[in-house]
Amino acid sequence: MPTAAATPHARPVVFVDGVRTPFGRARPDGIYAHTRADDLAVRTVRELLRRHPGLPPERIDDVAIAATTQRGDQGLTLGRTVGVLAGLPPTVPGFAVDRMCAGAMTAVTATAAAIGFGAQDVVLAGGVEHMGRHPMGFDADPNPRFVAERLVDAQALNMGCTAENLHDRDPRLTRERADEYGVRSQRRYAEALAAGRITPDLVPVATRDPERGWGLATADEPPRPGTTVEQIRALPTPFRAGGRVTAGTAAPLTDGAAMCLLAGQDTAEELGLAPRLRMVSFAYAGVDPAVMGLGPVPATEKALRRAGLGIEDIGLFEINEAFAVQVLAFCDAFGLADDDPRVNPYGGAIAVGHPLASSGVRLMTQLARQFEEHPEVRYGLTTMCVGLGQGGTVIWENPHHADYDGFTGSTTTEAQR
């Protein structure tokens, strides 16, 4: 009779590094209007390899890349095609992921689970979205049963309408609070940019325009520094007449890619890769699609339970700003002030943009830099709402904290980052 295989113990998984392209506006005159989506992802993979020359490319066990609209130049099994285009050895496999806005987050957690199980040692995970070429929902064909059988409200297929529904659900979620939050996001991003906290994680991208010729994208295009509450109050409400959601309190349509390098802690130590985050737990949860912005709340509750932590243990929060009201609902659920300095200290997607499937890794990369600035903070989280009523949360530990029990490896220099 065969002997049952021993169940392996999960091993620590660390986030070694993350990068992203500058984010561009998804429009005909945007910086990436004539740049392929897969080439944006290739640029991030090559940059991670450049920053970590001690990592043999053949040691990479998998490449997971997410996209929400998997067609054209962001289709064809992105993880594999981008790996080949980036010059990885043909022995390195890859695959594509789709969990809409949480695509890159899912690429990270899926491959991290494989590392924790012992099936892999080193992976690349991220996402790309070229919303200028591939608008959200383009060519989608939602099953008519969704509405005919009242499985979901008809408005649940429009993310802006779900944000308006959130405002309806709780009278405390006023337009005034949302407008003030939108201004705060722009201001915090501008302050972080001026302080040098954004640019080190950006990968310059060569661009080509038939009329303007060659260029180099080095900075985010969407931010609107100096935005005032008065300006936002004057904006129209496109999702509902007399509504509360405007372009000033929603993430703009965006093009961009983000990628990270994950490893088992033991493998990172072997290769001299210093961790910037350690994964503690993660969770996904479903909610009524009509109020999809509530998804981060049950996802966070579940992730905290799995980690044996409470919200009071979390010292930094990176919450994706699909809409201001979604962040405010999260803050209300956990007793956080609208202007809590621990919440999105570098601003968020309202300022910098939200290229759907890539945003999860942007949140992680920003949290990693904040951990470096705040060694007194032990735990932080990244969380986001997801279309059709989901939420995802990942809880991370700070390797710079005095109580961190990980190894002390060689560090990556600031110049490399």
Would you call 170 exposed, middle or buried from its count of C-beta atoms within 10 A (0-12, 13-18, 19+)?
middle
| 145 in any annotated domain | no
| 2 in any annotated domain | no
| 146 in any annotated domain | no
Whether 260 is catalytic: no
Question: What's the DSSP call for residue 343?
Answer: B
The pLDDT profile of the chain, 417 residues, written as one tens digit per residue, is 344 444 445 799 999 999 999 999 999 999 999 999 999 999 999 999 999 999 999 999 999 999 999 999 999 999 999 999 999 999 999 999 999 999 999 999 999 999 999 999 999 999 999 999 998 877 788 888 988 888 888 778 889 999 999 999 999 999 999 999 999 999 999 999 999 999 999 999 999 888 888 999 999 999 999 999 999 999 999 999 999 999 999 999 999 999 999 999 999 999 999 999 999 999 999 999 999 999 999 999 999 999 999 999 999 999 999 999 999 999 999 999 999 999 999 999 999 999 999 999 999 999 999 999 999 999 999 999 999 999 999 999 999 999 997 643 333 333 333
What are the phi and psi torsion angles at 277 (to 5°)? -145, 150
Selecting among 167, 260, 385, 401, the annotated active-site residue is: 385
Domain that holds residue 186: 13-133+151-397
The b-or-e profile of 255-279 (16+ CB within 10 A means b, else e) is bbbbbbbbbbbebbbebebbbbbbb
| 414 in any annotated domain | no
Whether 161 is catalytic: no
Rounded Cα gap, residues 108 and 128, in angstroms: 13
Selecting among 52, 101, 331, 401, the annotated active-site residue is: 101
Residue in 276, 316, 275, 320 with CA at minimum distance from that of residue 299: 320
| 162 in any annotated domain | yes
Contacts by 212-217, CB closer than 8 A, 24 or more apart: 215/31, 217/21, 217/22, 217/24, 217/31, 217/32
Selecting among 130, 134, 354, 401, the annotated active-site residue is: 354
- What is the domain-level CATH number for residue 33? 3.40.47.10
Q: How many domains does the chain have?
A: 1
Whether 385 is catalytic: yes
| 140 in any annotated domain | no
| 141 in any annotated domain | no
Tokens representing 89?
A: 């050895």
| 307 in any annotated domain | yes
